[in-house]
Structure formats: structure tokens, C-alpha cells
Structure 1
């Protein structure tokens, strides 16, 4: 019978391939709070419960209504009139026995008033369907405590998401087009010794055709540097180096071009391999790496310790691979020493930062990311609102989804004035159209924007009646859950900061508001 850890590895196999054991551990130790178990809210929770979030708490003072039953798969007909927080929690917990869940049948206003530190107990707070006034108050408190906030809503055929992070660092950004860290412009001692020991003139046919392309480029680079002592720097010089390699295929008359796949690989990889090795500018997130770069690294980051696949016999490929791994371990050891020195200076124990964290940081030092979002207070203050971008997008409302941001802000203003959303009662839709139009005009006036929103959009938002369609809620639940996991695991790059989805056209935009 499989052990517990083995069963868990099998259960979460696919996601472990995405964010690794350490990412899964971060997820399993995280506590998340959801405000309001709407269709969108429960879809978000579903998508973080399945991969194994540590625990969740639902804050919701509402009772289950007939409208809830019509759009929320996690509520059932016989639960009408019962606590929406309790019913949703019980059904969501059936998805994953590894996850703990709780609920509080209370309003956010009451919690902020009577238990001001409640929301600071979570690694992240997710908000759906909250009036603007309460949302701004909650967002200000979370901003002050540096607690990440994700606001998400589905409004008719429009989806909206806002990430609020004071500062978020990403070590493992998983770039799509990462350049290999091979250091052929500054080869380290063991790499030089290994490549120099490969005498291609004395190799057999099989050995020659299975020499790793990295070694081939190194050899021809040495010949190149005999002329001017420098690396090829431009397209013309790199093309000449490729030609030198191409001519090398025919030097041995016993070898035909078809046998020289490794030489073809070398030619294809010249451009990407000869990218200069240098540090990416980054603030002192890791002072230890900074010290390494300034001293032992001689201006370069720690070696990542990996090489790409290449045509070669197993023995020499593994030897080459081990050279990079050993160099990476040496660099990590130096950085670790700097880390321990810094911890000692700060009066903290050495185990304050784990060896695995140092290793991960060194491996990903080239891809570090820092995200700073604007606060919700900055966005909602007319004096600091993003007027220029909004005005620019309004110039072409037929093709730009940012108009829906304006409408969403306008319906919130409508709610603050009339204690209901426009069109949410069928017989009031016609009467609400001029009221919503006035809210839109006043909002744009406050922002100092002279353009206006077409009446068609105003009519459409009144027709929505603040309805939450399950198809849109399900889509937004998937998108939002991805962002939650990014923030919790500190892997991949979350949005900065506003995402708008248009289900009518199946289009979306991400903007900084």
C-alpha cells in the first residue's frame, strides 16, 4: 500500500510539475478568505481547493436565495433560506479531504468594526459582490497590513478582476523564452578544462558525431578569438562563426553531413549561446547575491547549473552536465555564506533562510520580478485616478474593453445613491437608464474627461440587472484562481493590476489603473 506522501504526489502530480514541491508546500500552508459565496466566489474557491489550498474561510451574511440556486452549482434548492456561507462551505469541502474550511455568517462592515484585525490573519483575501464604500475601507486596511487582496466580479457578460499588492516579489517567474546560462563568453575553470580535453582530431567517427554542440561552439570560439581576442558581437561576425562551424563538418572526409547533427545544432545555437552574461538590474532583494556579483561573480550572477538537450553520447553529456552542476553548487555555497553573514548581522538564526530557498533563488536570479500595484485608494481618488489612459481608450469605444471599467465604476456609484444596481428589477430598467447615464457623466467629469460613453453601453448594463451568469462566473473563477496561486507560491507573474473580460467578443485586456 502506498504511503501518505506517495499518495499525495500521485494526487497532485500534474501541478507538482508546474510549481514543484516547494510551491505545493506554500499552497498547502496558505489560509485564504473569501468574502461572499457568490457564483464567482465559489468558482474561485473550487479552483484553489482542488489543487490543495491549506484552508479557507467564507465571510457571508446572506441567506441562499432562488437567484443563487439558478447560477451557483455549489448551492441546492432545498437550502433556500439557509446560511449561504455554511452551505457553500459544506459542499466545497467535499471536493478535497486535504483542505480545511470554515465560515462566518457576518457582514464585512461588522467585522471591520468589531474585529479589526480579522482579515490580517490570512495570506490572501478574495472579495466578490461588495459595495464600493465597504470595499475601499477593507482595501485600505489590507494595504496597511500588506495583505494581498483580489477583487473579482461577474456582471452580466462582463468579468472584472483587480489585484492589489503593495509589493510582491517573484523568484520563479518561469519565463517562456529563457536564454540558457552557458557562460561561453566567460567560461569557468572546470568548463575550460573539460572542453580543452576534448580532442576532436583524434576522435572516432561515432565520438566526433556525438560531441555536444556546446563543446563544438567552444572550440570554434577559441579559434575565432585567436584573431582579435573578442567574442563575435554582431550579425556579420556571428554569421562568420557559423560558416567556420559549417566548414568544420567537411574537414574529416570520412564523415558525411548527415552524421553531423551536432554541428547543425551548434550552428542553430550560435546566436542564443553568445548572448553576453550579465546581471539584470535589480534592487537589493537578495543582498547576498549582490555581494556575490560584486566579488566572486565578477559582475555576473550565479551559474544556473543546467544545460539544454543536445546530440551527444550519454557519458560526455552527463560529464558536461555535472560540470555546470558543480559550478552552480560552488556559487550557491558562496551565496549561502553571504546569507549567513547577513543573518548574523541582523541577529537572526542561520536557518531563518533554508538552503533550498537559497538554491532556488540562485537558479532563478536572472528572472527575478518585482510587482508594485497601485492601491485601491489611489485608483478611486479622482486626484490620482489614471485619467490619461482612460481618456485615450475612450477615443475608440467600439473596440476597447476599458469602457466596461467605466460602466462598472458607474454602477457602483449608482448603488451608493439608490441602494440597488440599475435594472435589477425588470420594471425599473427604463427608469434607471437616465440615472445610470448621469452617474457615468458625473464620473467622467470628476476625472476631467470630456469624452462620453455611448448610450448602447449604458442600456446594456441596465439590461444586465447586476445578474451573475454562471458561464462568466466559471471563467472568471478559473482566471482568478490562477492569480491566487501565483501570489501564494511566488511563482509566475501575476497581473498588474486590472483585468477585464468581455464575454460577448471573447476578448480581454489588462491595464494598470
Structure 2
């Protein structure tokens, strides 16, 4: 029986709506190395409905591989790993198409042109890849602006590195976002609506259903008439709250005034361009638009022109919080906000289309939906710049100095885990053989040679981390693989839907101490 997609994906549509789901269904995810972690990563992307996936791996299924992978069984032993895993994963969701390439990454890099990789939305590497191949793939994907996720699991440790030149997000779903109500600076129509409400002339029932936006506009105007400027310090804000309460006929029963008394922070918001958005206006991408400039920066340039023409105000999103009110009063207020938002969006669109015409950009990428979502989210736009480097010297210095000073904080300990994983991968490449507890001394010496040549002796706390990696060097502890696969898939979902703020840009997990942290390389 065919299931309607709105029913099938009901829960996730509440998270990223149809726009996010549409992007997800158009995505093509590539997994390099069919490991347990990689299997979990793909599982968590196939179930919500990515478009396609491709697995690249030249290995065969062995007893060791099936022991840590729920998608493989003894019947798969001896078969191609990539095709066996692909077949099992294809059963999870009939909407998703899977493909396998039973070749090594090295072979694919040598035989395929760089354009081969352009078909993918994201490439994920699960666990070990030799440094030369990793660098080659990084360079290819970086030039094509395709995100690369490198996820490693070793014993009870894990790391995830998101490598992309730039990430831009419009729909961040920022939980700290405040409603833009413009109570401190009402436009003429909003002021007219507020003035039309004569509190003294209302019946008790009508008085108890005045939306608190109207209450705040009146209260703030009365305060300004008396004191000249809005409340600034704690004492003044407390007095303002008391003034709002005094406007009620019975604060015990008037729900609208009770709400107002607990929400005075909304009345005291300043209408201005956030510093983070102001900083984006100064970005070179905004200053130097060309035909090939990504759409986000063209939109941002139009936004800058809009704010310059509107006394430093962003387009009004037009959304209102729920509040105690009768339907008629709330709808009147809502209409005033929606009409203003519509006018702002129209003005913004005019600036945008003028700009698109001047630079010769593709107008079709700026749909009404794209413009509408941008105008609704201008307060919380998110931009990060990445790096191809796996680490920085400051990370090593902070870790070593932290251990030497007796600082065994979670941050220092997690950095030791990350460099332990990097060193393990380097040792695998150097020795070309499995690593065991007997390789502990080699592991510590290789770290010094590769990452810290000026260090003669590792701190004891750092040695214990390396010891743990040498002893528990398995990459198939399923609880850790499942967790790291889940974290990696979450980041992939953010990138494919272009919603929520993705990792910037390194995540490290310690399953022994149950702690984790993110770092900026």
C-alpha cells in the first residue's frame, strides 16, 4: 500500500517543512567506506527520505565486519561489502535509490574526472582513509563547494570534522529568536490601531481582551512622555512593569495584563539591525557582486540596500506570538503586521531584482518562496567559513600546555582523543597493518614526530588516552558507531535541508567519560 508522503514524513515536516523535505529528496549522499558508523549514518538519512545514496568501498564482507554491523549477516560473507550493504539499506525506504561502487577511493580518484563528484550533495568518509587520498578528495570537493564529513570511531572515542569552504543558512530556527514587534518604533498603521483603542472607554470584557502589543505601545508612550526615553536599567524596567500592572482594572483576572506583566522584555526590545547581520553587510561578497556570486550574498546585498532606505530597519517578519485576546482584536492586529510584512517584502524584491539585472545573475533562483523565507529570517542569518586543515597548531599548544599545568579539563582531554585518532590513522598508513596494544610506544612517538616535534615527553594524562586508543582500537563498537553515525547524519540533514545551524567545525566524543564538545579548527 502506497503511503502519502505527508503522512509518512509527518513528524519531520514539522521540523523543516516542505521546503526542507524537498531539498532532502533532491539530495545525493556519497559514503566512502562501508563501516558500521557509515551504515548508521546512511540509515538515519534514508529513513527521512534523501533522494539517492552511493557507497564506495572495495572490501568484502568478513566475519569481523558482520560482528559490528546490524545490516550484514553470515549470508553476506565473501560478497562485495558495498553492494551487500547497499541492498540492505535499500529495503529501508522505497522512495530512496541506492547505488554501490565496488572500488577503492584511490581507484575512483584515479579513474573518474573531478566532475564525477559534482553529482553529490555531501560526501562522508567513515573512518580511515590514507592522507594523500583524503587531501585529494578535500581539494576536489572544496573547489566544487561540496561539504565533506569525516567521521571516525575508535573504541569508545569518536570525532567528526565538517569540511566546507562556507556555510550559509537562512532558516536557522534559532530558539533564542525574539519576535520583531516594533513596539518601540511602531509604523503609522500600527500606531493608528493603538490610538483607536481607548482603554478608559472599554467595557470590562473588552478591556480584558486588548492584545498586549497595544497595551505595551500605550504604556511605552506614557513612559516616554514622562521620562523622555525608554527604561534602561533594572530599576526603571521594574517601574515600567509596575506601570503596566497599574493599567489593569484587576490584575488577578485580566489575563492579557497578566501576560503583559510577565513579557515586558518584548516591549523594551530595540528595533535595530543585529551586530551579527551588520557584520555580514561588510563582507567582501556583499561589496563585490558578480554573476557567479552565490544567491545568499545577492540576497544579503539587497537586504543592505533595504535597511539603508528604511532607517536601519530590517523587513518585518510579520509573525505574532500567541496572546490573550478576542478573535476580532487579534485578527485586526495580525492584519496590520501581515500587511506591513508584505509591503516590506515587495520593496525588498524590487531592490533584489534590480541587483540581479545589474549583475546578470539567474533570476529563477530567487523564487517567491525563497524571498519570503529570507525576509522572515533576516534577524538570524548564519554564516561560517571553514578550512581544509584537520587541526591548528594552537590546538596542540593548548592541549600540551593544559596537561603540563595540571589542567585535566574536558576540553584538554577531548583534544587528546582527537589527536590520538589522527595519530592512529597516520600509524595505520605508515605500518600498513592492524594496530594493537603492542603499538602503544609507536603511537606516542609518531604523535611527537608528526604533530609536536618540540615535545620530548608526553604528559601522563595524555599517555592514558593514547593507551586507551591502542587497547580499544576497534572501529565497530556498535554503541559508539550508532552514536557517531547519528551525530554525522544530523549534520548532513542540516546541510541538505539548509536549515538549522550546522557544526562549526569539529566535534569530539568521549564515550568513557560521557562528555563531548565542539571546536573550531
Q: Under a length normalisation based on structure 2, what TM-score does the superposition of the two structures give?
A: 0.91
Partner Cα distance (2:364, 2:475) in 1: 52
**Partner SS, residue 48 of structure 1:** helix
Partner Cα distance (2:455, 2:379) in 1: 42
- 2:370 aligned with 1:357: yes
Partner Cα distance (1:448, 1:164) in 2: 29
Partner Cα distance (1:421, 1:436) in 2: 13
Partner Cα distance (1:441, 1:240) in 2: 62
Could you tell me which residue of structure 1 aligns to residue 174 of structure 2? 175
- 2:504 aligned with 1:496: yes
Q: Deviations over 1:347-387 (max 9, x none)?
A: 245433101100100100000010112213xx36x7x6643
Pair 401,258 (structure 1): closer, same or farther in 2 beyond 3 Å: same
Could you tell me which residue of structure 1 aligns to residue 290 of structure 2? none
**What is the deviation of 1:112?**
1.1
Deviates more, 1:474-483 or 1:406-415: 406-415
Pair 136,394 (structure 1): closer, same or farther in 2 beyond 3 Å: farther
Q: Which runs of 5+ in 2 are unaligned?
A: 287-296
Partner Cα distance (1:39, 1:244) in 2: 62
CA contact (8 A) 2:166 2:383 kept: yes
Q: Deviations over 1:236-264 (max 9, x none)?
A: 222222121222224xxxxx332222112
Pair 389,354 (structure 1): closer, same or farther in 2 beyond 3 Å: farther
**What is the deviation of 1:397?**
4.0
Q: Deviations over 1:416-464 (max 9, x none)?
A: 22112421xxxxx33x122122112323423769753543223221211
Could you tell me which residue of structure 2 aligns to residue 220 of structure 1? 219
**What is the deviation of 1:105?**
0.6
Partner Cα distance (2:456, 2:246) in 1: 65
- Residue 10 (structure 2) aligned to one of 5, 8, 13: 13
Q: Deviations over 1:44-77 (max 9, x none)?
A: 0000101110111111111111111100111111
Could you tell me which residue of structure 1 aligns to residue 52 of structure 2? 55
Could you tell me which residue of structure 1 aligns to residue 305 of structure 2? 291
Could you tell me which residue of structure 1 aligns to residue 478 of structure 2? 470
**What is the deviation of 1:92?**
0.4
User: Pairwise mapping of residues 21-420 of structure 1 onto structure 2 (< 5 A)?
Assistant: 21-117=18-114, 118-129=116-127, 130-250=129-249, 256-280=250-274, 281=278, 282-283=280-281, 284=286, 285=297, 286-295=300-309, 297-348=310-361, 350-376=363-389, 379=390, 386-395=395-404, 396-397=407-408, 399=410, 400-420=413-433
Q: Deviations over 1:141-177 (max 9, x none)?
A: 2112221000012111111100001001010111112
Partner Cα distance (2:271, 2:434) in 1: 57
Partner Cα distance (1:125, 1:175) in 2: 27
**Partner SS, residue 153 of structure 1:** strand
**Partner SS, residue 446 of structure 1:** coil
**Partner SS, residue 325 of structure 2:** coil
Could you tell me which residue of structure 2 aligns to residue 426 of structure 1? none
Partner Cα distance (1:9, 1:58) in 2: 28
Partner Cα distance (2:397, 2:233) in 1: 40
Pair 183,472 (structure 1): closer, same or farther in 2 beyond 3 Å: same
Could you tell me which residue of structure 1 aligns to residue 465 of structure 2? 457
CA contact (8 A) 2:24 2:51 kept: yes
Q: Deviations over 1:20-62 (max 9, x none)?
A: 1101111011111000111000100000101110111111111
- Residue 442 (structure 1) aligned to one of 429, 437, 449: 449
Q: Which runs of 5+ in 1 are unaligned?
A: 251-255, 424-428
Counting matched residue pairs gives 494
**Partner SS, residue 182 of structure 1:** coil
CA contact (8 A) 1:422 1:436 kept: no
Could you tell me which residue of structure 1 aligns to residue 518 of structure 2? 510
Pair 498,266 (structure 1): closer, same or farther in 2 beyond 3 Å: same
Partner Cα distance (1:134, 1:52) in 2: 30
CA contact (8 A) 1:387 1:449 kept: no
